[in-house]
Chain A
Amino acid sequence: MEQVHIDFRDQISRNKRNSFFLMFVVVCVLVLFGYVISLAFEPGFFFIIMIIAIVFSLSYTLLSYYNSDKIAVASVRAKNASRAEHGDFYRLVEGLTIASGMPMPTLYVMPSEQINAFASGRDPQHAVICVTKGALEKLDRRELEGVLAHELSHVANYDIRYITLVTVMVGMVAIISELFLRSLWFSSGDGDSKNPIFIFIGIALAILAPIVVQLVQLAISRKREYVADATAVKYTRNPSGLIKALEKIKVDVVKPEKKISKAVAPLFFANPFKGMASTHPPLDKRIEILKRM
């Protein structure tokens, strides 16, 4: 039985602290990578490679921090929602921003038949909320409102900052370890300047890093989903909308989404790949907790 303790202010400061810590760790990991790579391949270019590694990791971290919302939206091919076309979507979010006292986020719609939604951005002033076309079509007003309230809670609790950062970092660590492993493969056999110990360390790091990051990614989401469900009910004072939305998702039959990259999965309202090692708590469990409210 997972205990769900909910103190919103705690959650917010924890998220802010973790976000900062995460960025710090990632910069360190990247610099370490650069160090190992430079020693493994070309000890002579040690300083140049290190400078490149530091500049690259700092700029990547800062860029992804300031553009996380745009990256997430672009990666699922979402389009800006227009007020004329998606009036209800706008009106519901407006109502919820009044209920929560938050600034209005930017709204997006993504082309997918699934019932799903996500929020992203670095803080409530720079937040986006994106829903699938399927959610707009299949959910009624109250259900959609529940889903949107859940997403707005992620914004309010600063989950978006943390989850988006993790997401971007996961991608980066994966790319770099891949690059390193491949470069080893292609350059094998030429010269003897390479230090076998550092190559070994490099390989170990390259294999382990993505696994560790994956574990971190899995651990972050579950509790946050319960908290966001509870916060959503605090906004709408109406658990039944959210419950019905979750029940609809449960029986909704659509193909698992291929266009969504695994990296952005934790951002979503419900797991976009049904049955996969889940970044989300089971729907039944969420429904059960909501029914007790």
Chain B
Amino acid sequence: MLLWLWILIIVAVLIGGALFYYFNRFALLGNRIDNSLSQIDVQLKRRADLIPNLIETVKGFAKHEKEAIKAVTDARKALVGAKDIEGKIKADKGLEGALGRLFAIAEGYPDLKANTNFLELQRELTSTEDKVAYSRQFYNDSILSYNNLCKTFPGIMFAGLYGKKEREYLQLVEAEKKVVKVSFD
């Protein structure tokens, strides 16, 4: 009789512990997804914020490259104006292309190329490009761990219990992964 009581208590504790553990696990991984999504946003905004400065610098040296400058300004406007994250990422792609062309043109202006401000901005922009890619990668990684938890035993039981569903990945166009190369060497 006493033995049965003990077994009952142990089982109850185990179940309680598992409920607790998986609740926290889902909360933690879910938060990570939300966090990493906002990180993408932060990086895209940073990128957009760098552009006006760059345009000013370029105008100082290569005023008559109106077309290339306008392309970058327009692409930035599209990025700032985009509503959802997919739209922003798409706009960012356009910005990347416009910037690539602008940097290529800058190669023809030795004074601009030697300008420390310009160089610094160029490096900063290249690195935010990496950071955007990395934040998206981390977002998808976070979703992967969340979905793994939802899909594998024993997490799958608790996912049903807590009403947690698999999350959607950010759609990556394969070509996007090949970053436009801005070479400055």
Chain A binding surface SS class: helix
CA distance in complex: A101, B33 (Å): 11
Closest residue to A88 on the B side, CB-wise?
B123
Contacts of B142 in A (CB 8 A): 101
Q: Is there a chain B Cβ closer than 8 Å to A43's Cβ?
A: no
Stretch of A33-41, A91-99, A170-178, A218-226 at the chain-chain interface: A91-99
Check if B124 sits within 8 Å of A91, measured CB to CB: yes
Closest residue to A99 on the B side, CB-wise?
B134
Check if B39 sits within 8 Å of A98, measured CB to CB: yes
B155-185 residues with Cβ-Cβ distance < 8 A to A are 185
Neighbour of A101 across the interface among B32, B123, B124, CB < 8 A: B32
A255-288 residues with Cβ-Cβ distance < 8 A to B are none
Check if B130 sits within 8 Å of A95, measured CB to CB: yes
CA distance in complex: A96, B141 (Å): 14
Check if A91 sits within 8 Å of B127, measured CB to CB: yes
Q: CB-CB contacts of B106-139 with A at 8 A, as 1s and 0s?
A: 0000000000000010011001001100110110
Check if B138 sits within 8 Å of A100, measured CB to CB: yes
Q: Is there a chain A Cβ closer than 8 Å to B36's Cβ?
A: yes
Q: Is there a chain B Cβ closer than 8 Å to A291's Cβ?
A: no
Contacts of A99 in B (CB 8 A): 134-135, 137-138
Check if A92 sits within 8 Å of B127, measured CB to CB: yes
Check if B127 sits within 8 Å of A95, measured CB to CB: yes
Q: CB-CB contacts of A135-153 with B at 8 A, as 1s and 0s?
A: 0000010000000000000
Q: Is there a chain A Cβ closer than 8 Å to B43's Cβ?
A: yes
Neighbour of A96 across the interface among B32, B124, B134, CB < 8 A: B134
A77-119 residues with Cβ-Cβ distance < 8 A to B are 87-88, 91-92, 94-96, 98-101
Closest residue to B36 on the A side, CB-wise?
A101
Closest residue to A145 on the B side, CB-wise?
B130
Sample of 17 A–B contacts (CB below 8 Å): A87-B120, A87-B123, A87-B124, A88-B123, A88-B127, A91-B123, A91-B124, A92-B130, A94-B131, A95-B127, A95-B130, A95-B131, A98-B135, A99-B134, A101-B138, A101-B141, A237-B137
